[in-house]
Structure formats: structure tokens, C-alpha cells
Amino acid sequence: MPPQPQGYHHPQTLEEVRTLWIGDLQYWVDENYLSSCFSQTGEVQLVSVKVIRNKITGQPEGYGFIEFISHAAAERTLQTYNGTPMPGTEINFRLNWASFGSGQKVDPGTDHSIFVGDLAPDVTDYLLQETFRVHYSSVRGAKVVTDPSTGRSKGYGFVKFAEESERNRAMAEMNGLYCSTRPMRISAATPKKTVGLQQPYAAKGM
């Protein structure tokens, strides 16, 4: 099979992704505020910052994207800021890799994810991620699905792994273990045609 033309940069692996997703943004948060938050370190160089707004009303949708000069710079920011307080607010930074849950198409051959159900209301992306990361070094992100209108957890989420073998181990070893106050119910994540929140996993049945 001939190689496909590389006409533009399209991340094929997590190591090529250099954009972070940021959520739980308050209505007044704009690009200037986010730029000031992440430019304080000096070494981290931002390429672009974008707060997503409703196309009809122009009001912020509560999330955005931050692109860095490199994957390493994005990873440093994710590790440093995720779960820490946002300046001037009582809200913590909620960061994740933009390739996970942002609506981008993902090659299913490289997407080793699991579905995690029965989550307690207080479980965040960060808590879910760290619950698995302490056992599996290839964990690359976690996403708790929330109700867009209320911001409350829907009680389930996804954890993404770089290694299929660790994904398979986690499904066997972590099922029934506690995350916060409830035992987790784990199964394989089977994305529909697009990776998004509308149809996060295939329903059982034919």
C-alpha cells in the first residue's frame, strides 16, 4: 500500500499532540486571561489560545483549547496546572489532551480506552486519571462526562491508555475497585463514528 500524502500536520499519536483542552471555564474567562495564566512560567511558549463560543449568542461554551510550541511544553503545563486553583477564582484548572474527547477523529487502532461507570459525583478528570495512573504508567488522560447545562457529572467517563496491554489489564484488575466513594464498573469503550460526548459508547444489542 503506497504511503498517504502528508499534506498537513495531523497528530497520529499522543506524542505529536501539542494542544490542551481546558474546561469548567467561567463566563468571564477570555483568551487574555488564559494567556496570562500559562505565560507566567516564562519557558512555556503559547502558539494560540481559543475560548469556544456559541455561534449564535456569542457566549462562551465553558471550554477552550491551548496550543503550545511542543508536546513537551503542553505536557509540562498539564502536569503542573491540572487540578490547581485558577487565579482569582475558586475553580481548579481542568485540563486534558485535546485529542481526547474534543470531537477530533481518532484512529481506533491507536485509541486504547476503557469506559468507567458508576462514578461518584465528586470524581473529576484528574482524580479518575490518577486512580489509574498509579497502577499503569501508560495512562494518557481521563474524561468524566458532564451535563453541558449543569456541569454536573453524568456518572461515567473514559480513561485512555497508550499501551493496549495495560488497557486490558486495567479492565480486569480495576473493575469493582473504588474511585472516591463508589466501586467502578469498567468495560471496553467502543466509540461510534465520531469521538464525542453525544454517543460515547455503543449501546448493547443488535
What local confidence, expressed as pLDDT, does residue 171 receive?
Answer: 94
pTM exceeding 0.75: no
**82 and 145 share one domain:** no
**145 and 71 share one domain:** no
**141 and 168 share one domain:** yes
Residue 203 forms part of a structural domain: no
Q: What is the DSSP string of 113-145?
A: EEEEES--TT--HHHHHHHHHTT-TTEEEEEEE
Residue 138 forms part of a structural domain: yes
Last residue in a domain, options 97, 131, 159: 97
Residue 153 forms part of a structural domain: yes
Residue 114 forms part of a structural domain: yes
Are the CB atoms for 153 and 123 separated by under 8 Å?
yes
Residue 36 forms part of a structural domain: yes
**66 and 128 share one domain:** no
Number of domains in the chain: 2
Are the CB atoms for 113 and 158 separated by under 8 Å?
yes
CA pair distance 53, 28, nearest whole angstrom: 12
**184 and 160 share one domain:** yes
Are the CB atoms for 117 and 148 separated by under 8 Å?
no
Last residue in a domain, options 74, 97, 120: 97
**90 and 117 share one domain:** no
**81 and 145 share one domain:** no
Q: pLDDT digit of tens for each residue in the chain (206 aa)? A: 444 443 334 455 666 788 888 888 888 999 999 998 887 656 557 888 999 888 888 888 788 899 988 888 888 888 889 889 988 888 889 888 876 544 443 343 456 899 999 999 999 888 898 899 888 877 878 889 988 888 889 999 999 888 888 899 999 999 999 999 999 999 988 755 444 444 444 444 44
Amino acid identity for residue 129 in this structure = Q
Q: Give the CATH number of the domain where residue 62 resides.
A: 3.30.70.330
What local confidence, expressed as pLDDT, does residue 194 receive?
Answer: 41
What local confidence, expressed as pLDDT, does residue 183 receive?
Answer: 95
Residue 6 forms part of a structural domain: no
**71 and 113 share one domain:** no
Are the CB atoms for 173 and 105 separated by under 8 Å?
no
Range of the domain at 158: 108-188
Last residue in a domain, options 97, 119, 151: 97
What local confidence, expressed as pLDDT, does residue 161 receive?
Answer: 86
What local confidence, expressed as pLDDT, does residue 149 receive?
Answer: 82
**40 and 85 share one domain:** yes
Residue 200 forms part of a structural domain: no
